[in-house]
Amino acid sequence: PGQSCPGISLPCLVLQSELGELLGLVHYMEGLRLISTVELVAPTSDENVTVTDTELSGVPVRLFLPQRAPGGLRRAVLFFHGGGWCLGDAGEPCTSRLGPCPHLTALPGALNAVVVSVNYRLAPPHRFPAQFEDVYSVTKFFLQDKVLSQYGVDPARVCVAGDSAGGNLAAAVAQQLSEDPEVETKLKAQVLIYPALQALDLDLPSYRDNAHKPLLPGALMVRFWSEYLSADPALRAAMAAGRHVPPEAAPLLPLLDWSRWLPADMRGAHTYEGPALGGAGLARRFPALLDPRACPLLAPEARLRRLPPAFVLTCEHDVLRDDGAMYAARLRAAGVPVTHHHAKDAFHGAMTFLAWPVELAVGHRLFDTCMGWLKENL
């Protein structure tokens, strides 16, 4: 979820934010957001895409519209940026702040798609379910016939997409929409890019193998989860110590049993024991831990069966690797068409490195893979 400004390393950002919080100068996440953002990128149009900042359902969004004549109805992508529910902006889900993000400026032209990037509220001060409510409100509003018609969108070719924390939101939105009787237009697809999907088992093989790897060390992911789910600092301490799982979670743990849901090569030599249950009262104090809107991997199979086809991207060197892999397996078991693309040479956030000053071949390869799937399935 985290993003860093050019020339400043993530460890340096984290250290400065920790120091600021220790001295009582600024909240850790506020400090990280302040340091990591050089400047917000203004909406910048070109000959291919018109970019505007507006509001849908009272929520700020950045709207990307193809310039060329549609030649028929267009696709649409509702995009939710990453940043651990604490960082990021609708115009900057990437590492470069020096120009429009290639993630989003490429989509409208390549797919002939309307792209809506949602500027949802961030933690702190806004905690779950504020972020979910914002993206859900925008998506539900956009799926109205009159709005789709206004933007020339084919109701049968709309998808949700997101990276990291945004992948979490996209998965949660897809689930909620499938059960909303007020929504007649159904999603065509969901694109989940190294998503964070559960907060109960933070000792998965991927957390063990990648605890200290860039761009998302395990301790930072724990901090993101705790900031998103509660203002109580006790949750972070409990999560870090593995004492945060409510006893009421016991019936849900088979849904996270990585000895069943992970491919053998991801399980490696690790032995499954399952998360230890914490003390009584955790479910009352931190109900979001058991809420599928916050942790979509906790959804029962009956709910998963109603979901649209999915593209799930995971990276080998990523603490969130196993979340995405288990969700892909559970979707497939529920009968949902799934393309699980696992990049064995990639790390969390790799697909954001698409432009100067940090441009990587692996970023372009993953982006092209994702685009190829969208062209065929949306």
DSSP symbol at 187: P
**Is the peptide bond prior to 215 cis by the omega test (within 30 degrees of 0)?**
yes
Collapsing DSSP to helix, strand or coil, 173 comes out as helix
Phi, psi of 303 (to 5 degrees): -75, -40
Specify whether 342 is catalytic.
no
Distance CA 84, CA 221 (A): 7
- The full length of the chain comes to 378
Distance CA 258, CA 322 (A): 8
Mean pLDDT of successive 10-residue segments in the chain (378 residues)? 41 55 56 52 79 96 86 93 88 42 72 94 95 98 97 97 96 98 97 98 97 91 96 95 97 97 96 94 97 98 98 98 98 98 95 82 94 96
Phi, psi of 161 (to 5 degrees): -150, 155
Specify whether 348 is catalytic.
yes
Do the Cβ atoms of 328 and 338 come closer than 8 Å?
Answer: yes
**Chain mean position to CA 320:** 11
Look at residues 117, 42, 44, 48 and name the one whose alpha carbon lies nearest to residue 76.
117
Distance CA 77, CA 161 (A): 7
Catalytic residue among 209, 318, 322, 323: 318
Q: Across the chain, how many H-helices and E-strands are there? A: 15, 10
Tens-place pLDDT, residues 89-147: 876 544 333 334 566 777 887 888 999 999 999 999 899 999 999 999 999 999 999 99
Sequence-distant (≥ 6) Cβ neighbours of residue 3 within 8 angstroms: 36, 82, 83, 87, 88, 92, 93, 94, 95, 215, 349, 352
Specify whether 318 is catalytic.
yes
Q: What is the pTM of this model?
A: 0.91
How much is the pLDDT for 352?
84
Do the Cβ atoms of 167 and 195 come closer than 8 Å?
Answer: yes
Look at residues 328, 354, 359, 330 and name the one whose alpha carbon lies nearest to residue 341.
328
Distance CA 249, CA 5 (A): 39
Look at residues 149, 151, 121 and name the one whose alpha carbon lies nearest to residue 135.
121
Distance CA 132, CA 294 (A): 8
Collapsing DSSP to helix, strand or coil, 123 comes out as coil
How much is the pLDDT for 89?
81
The string of DSSP codes covering 263-297 is -HHHHTT-----PPB--TTHHHH-GGGG-TTT-GG
Do the Cβ atoms of 194 and 111 come closer than 8 Å?
Answer: no
Catalytic residue among 27, 103, 244, 348: 348
Do the Cβ atoms of 214 and 184 come closer than 8 Å?
Answer: no
How much is the pLDDT for 145?
97
Catalytic residue among 4, 17, 96, 164: 164
How much is the pLDDT for 182?
97
How much is the pLDDT for 33?
58
Residue with tokens 């009956």: 302
How much is the pLDDT for 196?
98
CA atoms within 13 A on the CB side of 51: 24
Do the Cβ atoms of 34 and 85 come closer than 8 Å?
Answer: no
Distance CA 104, CA 77 (A): 10
Do the Cβ atoms of 251 and 291 come closer than 8 Å?
Answer: no
Look at residues 363, 49, 346, 331 and name the one whose alpha carbon lies nearest to residue 192.
331
How much is the pLDDT for 29?
63
CA atoms within 13 A on the CB side of 335: 5
How much is the pLDDT for 17?
53
